[in-house]
Structure 1
Amino acid sequence: MKAFIFPGQGCQKEGMGHDLYEKFPEARTIFENANDILGRKITDVMFYGTELELMETKNTQPSVFLYEVALATTQHELCPNVVAGHSLGEFAALVIAGAITFEDGLNLVLNRAIIGQKACEKVETGMGAIIGLSDEYVAKRIKEIWDESGEPIYFANYNGPGQVVITGSRKGVRLACKAFKDEGAKKAVPLPIGGSFHSPYMNEAKEELGEIIRKIKFSEPSIPIYQCVDAKPHTNPDEIKNNLIKHITHPVLWTNMVHNMINDGVVEFYEVGTDDTLTKIVARMYPEKTIKQLLEIDTYNNIITNYKKN
């Protein structure tokens, strides 16, 4: 079985999608459709904009979503049996699986960005990457640090064994990163992200975005989608919709998603993104499997970076 895996926010890059637009008519149609829906040329930002422009809330998430959908659409000979997306990547996965339309997906992503940004501006919050400590140890210590300081700290992403992202108050995240660095973490650093995504700080955003999601028609996907909130494959439209509503306040269970895909028979993973973030994570977890990265400059022949270990 083959899986298409879609990374989340953070993989945006200057010039992203330009080669797809030039080489593939179907990708060009998707990009122009997005320009019409948004009422502005998001493609100008993607193809010619600076890194700072791509980092603007109104640009980042739509650009990543649009790129991933366009790239996946050009893969005519490589068909996935399942899909999975990391955080924002779940929206592209839903479109490729046929659970929602491209138009609805793009509107959801734009609203997610704007609503999430509003929530972030109300409280000083942040996120931090912790590498090299067990999930159990991190869980125990963030509770202790929270109790000692009164600063809320949560898990945001379970990215792989010994690789997590924490979130919470900005002070709490800084205290935790300092403690973990002193306690032997390979890496414990605050991330350049203003916000506390995938945490209870997003409850208000969850309610607002949930109202929008409830109005959208969800269809039975053509292939199962593994969702972030429970790491399980879903084909029931109501389950998919309810999980997407929970998505904004719930941690991303990527580690379990990968384990479950492997246990269900996936032997080949293809990352649909601009870099190899998920490719490296999956390769570390299952070096014996075939893990590859789709690259827009190579899509004619599907010749891609191969992380299979011999």
Structure 2
Amino acid sequence: MVAYVFPGQGAQFSGMGKDLYENNDKAKTLFESANDILGFRITDIMFEGTAEQLKETKVTQPAVFLHSVILAETSGAFTPDMVAGHSLGEFSALVANKTLSFEDGLRLVSQRALAMQKACEINPSTMAAILGLDDEKVAAICEEIDEVVVAANYNCPGQLVISGSNKGIEIACKKMKEAGAKRALPLPVGGAFHSPLMEPAREELESAIKNTTFNNPICPVYQNVNAQPATDTEVIKSNLIAQLTAPVRWTQSVNQMVIDGATKFVECGPGKVLQGLVKKIAREVEVEGM
């Protein structure tokens, strides 16, 4: 069985999608449609913009989404048995398995990005990567701290990202190193994604998701919040709403897909981050990029 996986924020690069736009008529049509929906020419920034321009909140998430979805739509070989996406990538996965239309997916991603930016402004916060500690130990240390600090991204064994207040992350990094972490590295992000501090964004996105049409998918999506397959549209909506304040259980998702029969993982989108993570999680499966 083939699993298609979609990357999240951070996979962007200058020039992303330009070859698709120039060499595929369907891709060009979809990119131009995206420019109209967003109200600005995101393609100009994707194809020619600087790294700093690509980091703008209104650009980053839609850009990664567009590259991923359009690559999948125009590949000619897109027949997944199951899909999953890392954080933002879950929206790409839901377009790939036909739960969301391209247009609705893009609108939700744009709204998500702006809502997250507002939440970051309300609660200044950050994230940090913890390397070389067991997941359980990292989570236990987070629970000991009085500030808001939680396990946010279970990326692969020995690599977990924590999320919380600026003070909380500072305290946590010190404690992680004392506990034997190889590295406890603050990340250059603008907020505590996948933590309770994203509650204002979750509330804002909830109404948008509830007012969007979700169709019956052609295959299961393995969702971040519980690492379980879902095909029921109401379950998918509920999990997608919860995603902003809940951890990304990527390690658990990949493991569950393998248990359920996945023998090949194909990464759809910019970069190769997920290919590397999947290889560390499930060493016996075939992994490639699109």
What TM-score range do you get, normalising by the shorter chain? over 0.9
Q: Residue 44 of structure 1 corresponds to which residue in structure 2?
A: 44
- SS of the residue 1:84 aligns to: strand
Partner Cα distance (1:272, 1:181) in 2:
35
CA drift at 1:78: 4.3
1:153 is aligned, of 125, 149, 156, to 149
Q: Secondary structure at the match of 1:185?
A: coil
Name the stretch that deviates more: 88-97 or 174-183.
174-183
Q: Is there any run of 5+ residues in structure 1 with no aligned partner, and where?
A: 295-310
2:132–2:158 CA contact under 8 A, matched in 1: yes
Aligned to 2:61: 61
Give me the whole-angstrom Cα distance separating, in 2, the residues matched to 1:194 and 1:178: 21
- Given that residues 152 and 248 in structure 2 are in contact (C-alpha distance below 8 angstroms), is that contact kept between their aligned partners in structure 1? yes
Query: Which secondary structure does the structure 1 equivalent of 2:245 belong to?
Result: coil
Match in the other structure for 2:138? 138
Normalised TM-score (structure 2): 0.97
Q: Deviations for 1:39-81, whole angstroms, at most 9, x for unmatched residues? A: 2111000000000100001111110101100111122134211
- In structure 1, how many angstroms separate the alpha carbons of the residues matched to 2:188 and 2:35? 28
In structure 2, distance between residues paired with 1:186 and 1:73: 40
Please list the CA deviations of residues 223-267 of structure 1 after superposition, one character each: whole Å capped at 9, or x if unmatched.
Answer: 111111111111111111111111111111111100110000000
Q: CA separation in 1, counterparts of 2:142 and 2:203?
A: 27
In 2: Cα distance, 1:161 partner to 1:227 partner: 19
> In the alignment, which residue of structure 2 is the partner of 1:247?
243
SS of structure 2 residue aligned to 1:164: strand
Q: How does 1:99-110 map to 2 (within 5 A)?
A: 99-110=99-110
Scaled by the length of structure 1, what TM-score is found?
0.91
Contact 2:255 2:282 (C-alpha < 8 Å) held by counterparts: no
Count of residue pairs brought into register by the alignment: 290
Is 1:208 paired with 2:204? yes
CA distance in 2, matches of 1:92, 1:45: 20
Return the alpha-carbon distance in structure 2 between the equivalents of residues 82 and 273 of structure 1. 16
- In the alignment, structure 2 segments of 5+ residues that lack a partner are none
- The one-letter code sitting in structure 2 at the alignment partner of 1:204 is P
Could you say which structure has the greater relative contact order, defined with CA pairs below 8 angstroms and 6 or more residues apart? Answer: 2
1:1-310 matches, cutoff 5 A: 1-144=1-144, 146=145, 150-294=146-290
Other structure's SS at 1:121 match: helix
Cα RMSD, aligned residues only: 1.0
Identity %: 51
